[in-house]
């Protein structure tokens, strides 16, 4: 039997905070590597003086999570544009590239990036069928619902319930979820019904919210760049869609709280343009937030005030968003971007991609312990 200590800048086993300048001690018997313990490097060297130290890379961690993707956009090229222009001028112009083939390509990229789970927004039925039945990677596939017209809410809700009934029978490794697109592209009537249905069915939810400054402007004044976008997609007047008027005291988060959507504990995507009051509300409802720093940079959304979320005890996760706005589906590249863009340390980012990621999807975060195989961990070079 041989003993080894694998060392890295940061080591995490899923418990507490990641350790800096730490290691994993392993015993090697006939090629099988079994974990003996995790600790700061100097402590491991005292505990296992005979063990050879081998530096493996920057981080040793359980398989991380990419908590927010749009796999069906994987064939749409990357483009940086302000958010209010990105959907109409880029996504809508490339609709023909969207679909199952793109989702399959995206899923392969995800698998090659060494993740343990993923959360994907699904806009096509054939993509949902594929993800639920053909994928071995654990995750959640959130069916996207989008309609700002409350007169269509009943019809869309009936169709959604029918789909959910069918898809729930297909769930294996990938679980079914729902994603009302944003607070301004789904009518208040439909938002409330979707949230209530999700709560009763135990379905996880993801909602894009407070992504770009123009979204905040829309809720406060009813003006700004998003009004042109809404007109373009023939959305009804805001008062009709929301059942209320914009107000300087309002924010997208407060609106979701007012509609009791937050009672269904949706995972909130982006939450870049939020006040401390918004963060307090998010904390009060126990929602998790997924940040996509590269996408936020490309679409000129700003940077997530992560310290405010940390202050109020809100769990954060990372996602790449689509490769068309994030650049790739590789969570390691998103983690590097977080370090560059958010003035955050590696320990924090590692916690986000592991514990935060699994919690964002409603999955149990992994805990790797003494006696487990070293192969249950992964290494970031
Ligand atoms: Zn997204």
Give the tens place of pLDDT for each residue, 332-352: 999 999 999 999 999 999 999
Give CA torsion, residues 316, 379, 343, 38, to 10 deg: 80
**Could you list which residues have their CB under 5 Å from ion ligand 1?**
321
Is 211 a residue of the active site?
yes
Q: Which three-class secondary structure state does DSSP give residue 25?
A: strand
Find where tokens 């989702």 sit.
103
Confidence (pLDDT) at 1:
86
Distance of CA 325 to the CA centre of its chain: 14
Residue 265 makes CB contacts below 8 A (sequence gap 6+) with: 205, 285, 286, 287
Q: What is the CATH number of domain 2-62+368-380?
A: 2.30.40.10
pLDDT 10s digits, 45-72: 999 999 999 999 899 999 999 999 999 9
Q: How far is the CA of 36 from the centre of ligand 1 (A)?
A: 40
Q: How far apart are the first and last CA of the chain?
A: 27
| pTM summary value | 0.97
Distance, in Å, from the CA atom of 122 to the CA atom of 313, rounded to the nearest integer, reads 30
Cα-to-centroid distance, 321 and ligand 1 (Å): 5
181 CA to middle of ligand 1, Å? Answer: 9
Task: Look up tokens 């939810």; give the residue.
Answer: 205
Taking the centre of ligand 1 as the mean of its atom positions, its distance from the CA of residue 144, in whole angstroms, is 10
- For residue 3, the model assigns a pLDDT of 96
CA of 67 to the centre of ligand 1 (A): 10
CA of 16 to the centre of ligand 1 (A): 29
Separation CA 158–CA 102 (nearest Å): 28
Q: What pLDDT shows up at residue 97?
A: 93
For 103, phi then psi, to 5°, come to: -65, -40
What pLDDT is recorded for position 232?
A: 87
Spatial CB neighbours of 151, under 8 Å, sequence gap ≥ 6: none
- For 324, the token pair is 């068309």
CA of 320 to the centre of ligand 1 (A): 8
Residue 248: HSE in the Cβ half-sphere, 13 Å Cα cutoff: 0
Alpha carbon of residue 240 to chain centroid: 31
Please tell me the predicted confidence (pLDDT) of residue 353: 98
Ligand 1 mean position to 322 CA, how many Å?
7
Could you tell me how far CA 328 lies from the centroid of its own chain? 14
What per-residue confidence (pLDDT) applies to 335? 97
Ranges of each domain in the chain: 2-62+368-380, 65-360
Domain 65-360 has CATH 3.20.20.140: yes
- Please, how many CA atoms are within 13 Å of residue 287, restricted to the half-sphere of its CB? 29
Query: What distance in angstroms lies between residue 327's CA and the mean position of ligand 1's atoms?
Result: 13
Tokens 């697109």 sit on residue: 181
Catalytic-labelled residue, pool 50, 89, 101, 211:
211
- Contact assessment for residue 330 and residue 372, using Cβ atoms and an 8 Å cutoff: no
Please list the ranges in the chain whose pLDDT falls under 70: none
Distance 124 CA to ligand 1 centre (A): 15
């Amino acid at each position: 039997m041989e003993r080894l200590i694998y060392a890295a800048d940061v080591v995490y086993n899923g418990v507490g905070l990641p350790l800096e300048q730490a290691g994993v001690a392993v015993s090697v018997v006939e090629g099988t590597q079994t974990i003996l313990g995790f600790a700061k490097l100097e402590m491991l060297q005292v505990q296992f003086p005979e063990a050879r130290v081998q530096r493996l890379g920057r981080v040793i961690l359980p398989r991380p999570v990419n908590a927010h993707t749009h796999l069906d956009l994987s064939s749409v090229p990357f483009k940086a544009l302000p958010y209010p222009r990105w959907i109409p001028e880029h996504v809508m112009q490339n609709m023909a590239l969207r679909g199952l083939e793109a989702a399959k390509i995206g899923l392969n990229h995800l698998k090659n990036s060494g993740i343990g789970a993923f959360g994907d927004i699904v806009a096509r039925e054939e993509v949902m069928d594929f993800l639920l039945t053909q994928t071995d990677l654990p995750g959640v596939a959130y069916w996207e619902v989008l309609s700002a017209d409350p007169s269509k809410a009943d019809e869309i809700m009936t169709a959604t319930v029918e789909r959910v009934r069918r898809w729930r029978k297909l769930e294996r490794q990938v679980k079914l979820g729902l994603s009302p697109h944003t607070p301004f592209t789904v009518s208040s009537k439909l938002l409330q019904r979707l949230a209530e249905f999700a709560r009763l069915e135990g379905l996880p939810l993801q909602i894009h919210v407070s992504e770009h400054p123009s979204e905040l402007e829309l809720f406060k004044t009813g003006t700004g760049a998003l009004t042109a976008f809404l007109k373009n997609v023939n959305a009804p007047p805001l008062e009709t869609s929301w059942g209320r008027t914009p107000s300087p005291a309002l924010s997208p988060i407060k609106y979701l709280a007012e509609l009791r959507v937050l009672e269904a504990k949706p995972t909130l995507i982006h939450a870049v343009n939020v006040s401390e009051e918004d963060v307090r509300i998010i904390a009060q409802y126990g929602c998790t937030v997924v940040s996509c720093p590269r996408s936020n940079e490309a679409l000129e959304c700003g940077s997530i005030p992560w310290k405010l979320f940390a202050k109020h005890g809100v769990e954060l996760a990372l996602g790449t968003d689509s490769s068309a706005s994030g650049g790739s589906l590789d969570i390691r590249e998103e983690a590097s971007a977080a370090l560059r863009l958010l003035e955050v340390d590696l320990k924090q980012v590692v916690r986000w991609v592991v514990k935060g990621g699994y919690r964002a999807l409603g999955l149990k975060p992994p805990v790797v312990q003494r006696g487990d195989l070293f192969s249950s961990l992964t290494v970031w070079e």
